Structure 1
């Protein structure tokens, strides 16, 4: 899935990918793809600006690391980022429960008032 299905959830996906520890940009993209079983493909042109925005918002911190001759920026969650991720998870669970109750309603229990 690209584009629209991810729109509105990109920040949460990026924060969740960093929950296990610091990662560089491409590793974040790979983590989201792997955790989604290949269903979500993030584009670099969308991911890196979002990482920069999350860092400016204080949800991520970054540092440069050298790998051989190459340098890459490594991102990690801040305390504010962890709190934001927890809030996003709670909102997501509430949202999916509400949508699920409409799309896949449970039959009323026998004897329940309707």
Structure 2
């Protein structure tokens, strides 16, 4: 079963991946696809948007005779990731409460 969740979760996944280590587009796509059903053509506009708002920056590195573009998180990106993680925890707690029973706190 696939749950349709918004762009904020996709942003959080991308930022979390590049927070651990710099990554190139195809590698990012593979890692995000392990948790969300997206295509490469969906991810690249997200990467450009995150770059435009200074959450990511890029650099090129030679690989097998070609340049590979790597994405790296910025300090602004880390701040945004922390905000998204806090929002995710609150959202997850509310969904867990509804699905699993219990009381909502907050």
- Tell me the C-alpha RMSD between the 2 structures: 2.0
Length, aligned pairs only? 102
Q: Deviations over 1:57-112 (max 9, x none)?
A: 000010111112111210010001011111101100001111221222139xxxxx
Do the aligned partners of 1:21 and 1:76 also contact (CA within 8 Å) in 2?
yes
The answer on whether the counterparts of 1:23 and 1:75 sit within 8 Å (CA) in structure 2 is: yes
Instruction: State TM-score, norm by structure 1.
Output: 0.79
Task: Trace 1:1-114 onto structure 2 (pairs within 5 A).
Answer: 5-8=4-7, 9-34=9-34, 36=35, 40-106=36-102
Task: Give the ranges of 4+ consecutive aligned residues of structure 1 lying more than 3 Å apart after TM superposition.
Answer: none
On the 8 A contact 1:29/1:41 being kept in 2, the answer is: no
Higher helix share goes to which structure?
Answer: 2
CA distance in 2, matches of 1:50, 1:80: 16
3-state DSSP of counterpart to 2:19: coil
